[in-house]
């Protein structure tokens, strides 16, 4: 890569192993192919995940040691994606169910004080020195306790990493230039693909999502819809198949006949060849109102 197009660095913060493959994998593959550096952070070990793949419900390894099985899956996905990867080392909080909801397990990621949970990410930012950080929005992309905590930790670390005196034992300050939120659940994309499927006489997996996205929660919000304007469409359709292969590496979590593969690859590439992001904080400016950008490194190269 020439001096005028020097490699830049991007850090993607995720809650569990497999999230990096379902959210942002084509974008990361694109930037790696361009010669940039990409690191994925998994905040938790995924140990409280259930086996979601009906084809391996009786597999002995994940039934005995889910965290160990998911470490192996993450290693396989990392090889497919080509990213660098780090574990923050926290324990999966699980997804509580019931009415009322039970308390989260003591010591799990989502129960920790924010400074304790953020310290290792601050250290990692100061070591890797990313120009761009990609995180979840305030709702975690969807309202899982670990996703919401991953958002909080990413924002805290993004803001604190460049401050003298903040987290003094976590290395020399480094301030990333841009913070983006992932907008995988972009209503425009979902409706576009849904309509294309219906027009083609195919079953859409998005009908229930569209119905839920129109419902407000108790606070008047729509929990399955981002509150942030999409500012950035990254064209990466040629890397959608990388996402599919990386997802399949997470065999405990991904049904090869399930939701993630319900839309034909060619239709996805044709109808919405982008991945979508919202620029939240920037040291190099924002797109003008009513316009979008096509590059997470816009303003940096």
Place of tokens 């993450």: 74
Report the pLDDT averaged over residues 10-22: 98
pLDDT digits (tens, 9 = 90+) for 181-190: 999 989 999 9
**What is the length of the chain?**
301
Report the pLDDT averaged over residues 215-223: 58
Q: Tell whether 55 is in a known binding site.
A: no
Q: Tell whether 188 is in a known binding site.
A: no
**Domain range annotation of the chain:** 3-186+226-282
Report the pLDDT averaged over residues 89-103: 94
pLDDT digits (tens, 9 = 90+) for 109-130: 999 999 999 999 999 999 999 9
- By the 8 A CB rule, do 241 and 35 touch? no
pLDDT value at position 210?
Answer: 82
Six token digits for residue 56: 């391996």
Q: Please provide the CATH number assigned to the domain covering 3-186+226-282.
A: 3.40.50.10320
Least confident of 139-153, 205-219, 240-254, 256-270: 205-219
pTM for the full predicted model: 0.94
Q: Tell whether 19 is in a known binding site.
A: yes
Reply yes or no on whether the pLDDT at 212 is more than 80. Answer: no
Contacts of 82 (CB under 8 A, 6+ apart): 29, 32, 38
| Phi-psi map region of 256: left, alpha, beta (phi>0 left; psi -120 to 50 alpha) | alpha
Q: What percent of the chain has pLDDT over 90?
A: 88
Three-class SS state of 25: helix
Six token digits for residue 162: 């460049």
pLDDT digits (tens, 9 = 90+) for 131-171: 999 999 999 888 899 999 999 999 999 999 999 999 999 99
d(CA 141, CA 272): 19
């Amino acid at each position: 890569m020439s001096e005028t197009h020097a490699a830049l660095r991007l850090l993607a913060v995720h809650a569990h192993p497999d999230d990096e493959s379902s959210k942002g994998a084509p974008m990361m593959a694109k930037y790696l192919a361009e010669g940039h550096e990409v690191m994925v952070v998994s905040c938790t070990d995924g140990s409280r995940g259930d086996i979601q793949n009906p084809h391996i419900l009786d597999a002995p390894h994940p039934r005995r040691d889910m965290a160990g099985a998911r470490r192996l899956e993450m290693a396989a996905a990392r090889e497919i994606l080509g990213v660098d990867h780090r574990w923050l080392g926290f324990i999966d909080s699980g997804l509580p169910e019931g009415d009322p909801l039970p308390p989260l397990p003591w010591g799990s990621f989502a129960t920790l004080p924010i400074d304790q949970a953020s310290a290792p990410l601050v250290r990692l930012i100061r070591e890797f020195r990313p120009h761009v950080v990609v995180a979840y929005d305030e709702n975690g992309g969807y309202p899982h306790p670990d996703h919401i905590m991953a958002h909080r930790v990413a924002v805290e670390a993004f803001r604190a990493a460049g401050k003298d005196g903040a987290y003094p034992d976590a290395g020399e300050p480094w301030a990333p230039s841009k913070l983006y939120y992932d907008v995988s659940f972009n209503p425009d994309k979902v409706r576009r693909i849904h309509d294309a499927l219906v027009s083609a006489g195919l079953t859409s997996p998005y009908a229930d999502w569209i119905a839920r996205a129109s419902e407000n929660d108790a606070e008047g919000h729509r929990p399955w819809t981002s509150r942030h304007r999409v500012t950035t469409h990254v064209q990466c359709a040629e890397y959608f198949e990388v996402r599919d292969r990386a997802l399949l590496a997470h065999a405990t979590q991904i049904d090869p006949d399930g939701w993630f593969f319900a839309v034909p690859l060619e239709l996805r590439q044709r109808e919405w060849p982008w991945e979508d992001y919202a620029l939240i904080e920037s040291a190099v400016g924002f797109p003008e109102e009513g316009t979008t950008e096509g590059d997470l490194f816009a303003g940096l190269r």
